Amino acid sequence: MRIVFVSTLKGTPWGGSEELWAAACERALHNGHAAMICRYQWPESLRRQESLRQAGAKLSLRPRRAGKIARLFPRPGWLREIDGFAPDVVCISQGNAYECAGHRSMVPLLKWLARTNVALVNLIQFNSEDTGLGRAAANRARWLYQRATTNAFVAMDNHRLAESRLRVRIERAVEVRNPVNLSDTCPVPWPCEDVVRMACVARLDARTKGQDVLLEVLAKPQWTSRPWTLSLFGVGPDEQRFADQSRRLGLSDRVSFLGHSSDIRAIWRNHQVLLLPSRAEGTPLAMVEAMVLGRPCMVCAVGGCADWVRDGENGFLSPEPNTDSVGSAMERLWSARERWPSIGAAARESSLAMMGPDPGLALLDVLVAAARSHSGAVP
Q: What are the pLDDT digits (tens) for 109-124? A: 999 999 999 999 999 9
pLDDT in tens, 284-315: 999 999 999 999 999 999 999 999 999 999 99
Of 232, 235, 236, the C-alpha closest to 246 is 232
Helices (H), 186-304: 206-209, 211-218, 221-224, 239-248, 264-269, 285-292
Residue type, 29: L
Distance from C-alpha of 178 to C-alpha of 282, rounded to nearest angstrom: 10
pLDDT at residue 194, rounded to an integer: 84
pLDDT at residue 379, rounded to an integer: 32
Distance from C-alpha of 92 to C-alpha of 124, rounded to nearest angstrom: 8
Is 285:210 a contact under the CB 8 Å cutoff?
A: no
First to last CA, the chain: 6
Encode the chain (379 residues) as per-residue pLDDT tens digits. Answer: 999 999 999 888 888 889 999 999 999 999 999 999 999 998 876 888 999 999 999 999 998 876 554 454 467 999 999 999 999 999 999 999 999 998 888 999 999 999 999 999 999 999 987 777 889 999 999 999 999 999 999 999 999 999 999 999 999 999 999 998 888 999 999 998 889 999 999 999 999 999 999 999 999 999 999 999 999 999 999 999 999 999 999 999 999 999 999 899 999 999 999 999 999 999 999 999 999 999 999 999 999 999 999 999 999 999 999 999 999 999 999 999 999 999 999 999 999 999 888 999 999 999 999 999 886 543 3
Distance from C-alpha of 21 to C-alpha of 233, rounded to nearest angstrom: 24
Q: Which run of H or of E encompasses 362?
A: helix 359-375
One-character DSSP codes across 306-336: HHH--BTTTBEEESSSSHHHHHHHHHHHHHT
Distance from C-alpha of 306 to C-alpha of 101, rounded to nearest angstrom: 28
Distance from C-alpha of 341 to C-alpha of 169, rounded to nearest angstrom: 43
pLDDT at residue 286, rounded to an integer: 95
Instruction: Give residues with Cβ within 8 angstroms of 14, minimum separation 6.
Output: 46, 48, 49
Is 108:74 a contact under the CB 8 Å cutoff?
A: yes
Instruction: Give residues with Cβ within 8 angstroms of 360, minimum separation 6.
Output: 20, 22, 23, 24, 25, 26, 27, 179
Of 44, 45, 66, the C-alpha closest to 54 is 45
Strands 89-94 and 119-124 come out as parallel
Strand ranges inside the chain, DSSP E = 2-7, 34-40, 58-62, 89-94, 119-124, 150-153, 173-175, 196-201, 228-233, 255-259, 273-276, 297-300, 316-318
Is 123:363 a contact under the CB 8 Å cutoff?
A: yes
pLDDT at residue 45, rounded to an integer: 61
pLDDT at residue 205, rounded to an integer: 95
pLDDT at residue 113, rounded to an integer: 96
